Structure 1
Amino acid sequence: MLITGALVTPVAGNLGDRHGGKRVMLRLMAVVSAGGLISALAPNLPVLLLGQVLEGAMVGAMPLSFILVRKHLPAGESQVAIGVVSGLFVGGGMLGTLMAGPIAEQLSRHWMFAIPTLAIVVATLFVHRVMPDDPPARSDAKIDWPGLALLSGILLTLMSGLAMAPEAGSRPLAIGALIVLLAVLVAGWISVERRSPSPMVDLHLLAKPGMWSSYVITFAVCMGTAVSMYLVPQLFAASGDGYGFGAGSTDIGRYLLPGTVAGAISGPLGGLAARRFGPTAVVGAGIGVMAATLLVMAFVHTEVWHLVVGKALVALASGVCITAMVVRTAASVDHTDTGTATGLVLVTRVIGFAAGVQVSGAVLTAGTRPGTADPAGSAFVTGFVIAGAVTALSMLLVPAMRKGVKK
């Protein structure tokens, strides 16, 4: 699902820009519904995985939602609406996580997929009947198939490289080959996009400091967030000498709930703050709070409430920051580029999370002594410090967000 979401999101955003957000949204939701149906009826794991691949396309609904929001709402309201959409995605994920276990236990795993699929079908009909139509902006533009194929190859290679990163020491040739392949694909994609009359991504737009800095900041913030998401549950579960709490899965879920709620409300809060104070100021404040919290967590984590509060603050600051980043990116481009620009933010977010998880795993693995079950306490300190440092360094790019973008 993660890989499918990374592949589909920029494509869905680009097609929405050209052919209309509602039109592409309905087709995307039909694909997701088909994936849910396949998952619900799957007799074995391979068929279930096929259904999950199709369901992963749902991430592409986010840039399409942003397109529709910008087309149908005034600028001030659209900033808040973008935050609401982001918050609903997080809240929906939280609700699905809470519902999955009881449904599977009381009914079956088949209903665990069937019930959400029925909800998606109803939502699709609702969008078809209620959502106003948005006229295509560039309906005559041809799809940049070479650019699409190369971008998909870049994302697949990058995600594969991140997945293999923990084994880099034992598989140097495979990692080296992936790096070379990634470089070739990037060079080919840039060459194709420069010559295409209707490119998937406008490279001139990406070259502006206000755009590329946004993507780099998004990567750093999401990487720092992912490190905390990975380390905090591990620290709750650990039972080392002088650190850890030996908590079970039920207790860990309870400890993490405030952070999940904070992440859900961060979207609307980020939209409101962006409208009131401006997206750039909100991004800077979010980075500051998040970096400070991560660094404090590195050295203050002797009580459960230290981690509960820290995790909630990181989730809130990260969500506010990313929402403001999406608002800034959407407002910095023409309406005809909304889906493409915001889709790339979301793809960068996925890559940042994947990188953060791999870094966390590598740090804990390196800090685990042979013959022991838990990493050393210093490994957790190192992980939090790395996350805080990467997040803090992204503050240096905040001033660049103001440069070279549409006012």
Structure 2
Amino acid sequence: MPVTPAPPVPPPRIRKAAVGALGMLAAATGTLESVVAPTLPLLQRELSMSPAEGALLSIAMLITGALVAPVAGNLGDRHGGKRVMTRLMAVVAAGGLVSSLAPNLPMLLLGQVLQGAMVGAMPLSFILVRRHLPAGESQVAIGVVSGLFVGGGMLGTLIAGPVAEGLSRHWMFAIPTLAIVVATLSVHLLMPDDPPARPDARIDWPGLVLLSGVLLTLMLGLSMAPGLGSRPLALGALVLVLAAFTAGWTAVERRTASPMVDLRLLARPPIWSSYVITFAVCVGTAVSMYLVPQLLAVSGDGYGFGAGSTDIGRYLLPGAVTAAVSGPLGGVAVRRFGAGAVVTAAIGAMAATLGGLALLHTEVWHLVVGKALIALTSGVCVTAMVVRTATSVEHGDTGTATSLVLVTRVVGFAAGAQVSGAFLTAGTPSGSDVPAESAFVTGFVIAGAVTALSLFAVRTMSKGAEE
């Protein structure tokens, strides 16, 4: 008589405390990520940095994060999210320690490079909540973790200056690093182990090296974008190098038995359309993030407000708050209405707000309300894309697929910032350092158009999901 095999044992359910530990870790990493930007002038003074060195410091973590996120997601899919996260956070904690003790710029740069590994915590968190929670609850949990990461960034922006000036620059790195250590220990104690999906899979080193080359070349090109128009040879060389890395990576991933990124996964409409939407929305968001503070600060002929740094920070605070709540709101909305409806509504509202700012920016409250609405709709949209991507793939591909959403987000923000700078540079009359008002109008209009065009990808995403 044949023996009926026992049904597979479902993974243990996790308590709210475990999700809370992941949220605490996300908030702590967001705080540590954001302390450099508001204190960059102080760091330049204390460490005698040139403007170019300050710019390098500000993007060091960004570049590392773009490289580490897909690797962490891939390793988490294969070897278990909790196991990889614990080791990754050890690297981040080491980076925070180096940054807090750094006596000079080289040591601080090393610390920032190590800290950049924190971006990998997000896809690893998504692996864990999807593994241990049912679909509806995991969507909300993904939104909560994403929102707390943004909220941590808001907290870091607010406290970095007072901590650095009241205590020292060393403490603004040490305090969030201590919080990361505590949160990591909490995750280790409260989160059940997730068994490796493919423990015997080898690391795709050629694919890793070539993908790193693609991302590094892309980030380098974006950082040099404003000056590349006057250097066609440099632009051509970058394009050729990027094309070579991309072609080589594609060829390697097609042939290897255990690819870092399964190209068949990227070819699915719900997946590639999510990346397109994320990129377009983040470009539009970055344009507003760049132009609104500039418009508040400028005192032009008949426009602008001449606001100082303190006033600008106060004006942008409502936007930071709406960005923090957008993650949980996006997760709840996707659970109730579906990703397609949420993304369509968010993109429509965001594009309309950008268009409204192009027409109406004569009062401070116009910019405050507009920036808050853009932060809210953008956060809801990106959270919906993360949820849609996570739930469109098998459990064993969650980390890889969602990490590429985060990389796309980073590239979109970098591209939007560089495009905004190019708008203002081109719109500044010869002999003046004040851009024309038309440069801001053009920037808002183009940002709104790019955002609205992503609606075509929403149709593809929904159609592909139905199929």
TM-score (norm 1): 0.99
Instruction: Tell me the SS of whatever aligns to 1:58.
Output: helix
Which residue number corresponds to residue 263 of structure 1? Answer: 323
What pairs with 1:2-401 in structure 2 (closer than 5 Å)?
2-401=62-461
Q: Distance in 2 between matches of 1:371 and 1:59?
A: 42
**Aligned-pair distance for 1:406?**
8.8
Any gaps of 5 or more consecutive residues in structure 2? 1-60
In the alignment, is the contact (CA less than 8 A) between 2:223 and 2:418 conserved in 1?
yes
Instruction: Tell me the SS of whatever aligns to 1:239.
Output: coil
Q: Distance in 2 between matches of 1:394 and 1:98?
A: 33
In the alignment, is the contact (CA less than 8 A) between 1:243 and 1:302 conserved in 2?
yes
Q: Distance in 1 between matches of 2:192 and 2:390?
A: 20
In the alignment, is the contact (CA less than 8 A) between 2:229 and 2:235 conserved in 1?
no
**Relative contact order higher in (CA < 8 Å, ≥ 6 apart):** 1
**Aligned-pair distance for 1:213?**
1.0
In the alignment, is the contact (CA less than 8 A) between 1:208 and 1:403 conserved in 2?
no
Q: Per-residue CA shift, 1:188-222, capped at 9, x if unaligned?
A: 00100000111011101111122111111110000
Identity between Structure 1 and Structure 2 (%): 80
In the alignment, is the contact (CA less than 8 A) between 1:208 and 1:405 conserved in 2?
no
CA RMSD of aligned residues (A): 1.0
Q: Per-residue CA shift, 1:277-331, capped at 9, x if unaligned?
A: 0011101111000000001100100000000000000000000000011100001
**Aligned-pair distance for 1:171?**
2.1
Instruction: Tell me the SS of whatever aligns to 2:454.
Output: helix
Q: Distance in 2 between matches of 1:169 and 1:72?
A: 50
Q: Distance in 2 between matches of 1:247 and 1:373?
A: 16
**Aligned-pair distance for 1:404?**
3.9
Q: Distance in 2 between matches of 1:119 and 1:267?
A: 21
Greater displacement, 314-323 / 396-405: 396-405
Instruction: Tell me the SS of whatever aligns to 1:314.
Output: helix
**Aligned-pair distance for 1:129?**
1.3
The one-letter amino acid paired with 1:126 is: S
Instruction: Tell me the SS of whatever aligns to 2:431.
Output: coil
**Aligned-pair distance for 1:399?**
1.1
Q: Per-residue CA shift, 1:246-265, capped at 9, x if unaligned?
A: 00000000000000000000
The one-letter amino acid paired with 2:113 is: V
In the alignment, is the contact (CA less than 8 A) between 2:357 and 2:366 conserved in 1?
yes
Q: Per-residue CA shift, 1:348-385, capped at 9, x if unaligned?
A: 00000000000000000000112212100000000000
Any gaps of 5 or more consecutive residues in structure 1? none
Which residue number corresponds to residue 58 of structure 2? Answer: none
Q: Distance in 1 between matches of 2:269 and 2:83?
A: 32
TM-score (norm 2): 0.86
In the alignment, is the contact (CA less than 8 A) between 1:331 and 1:406 conserved in 2?
no
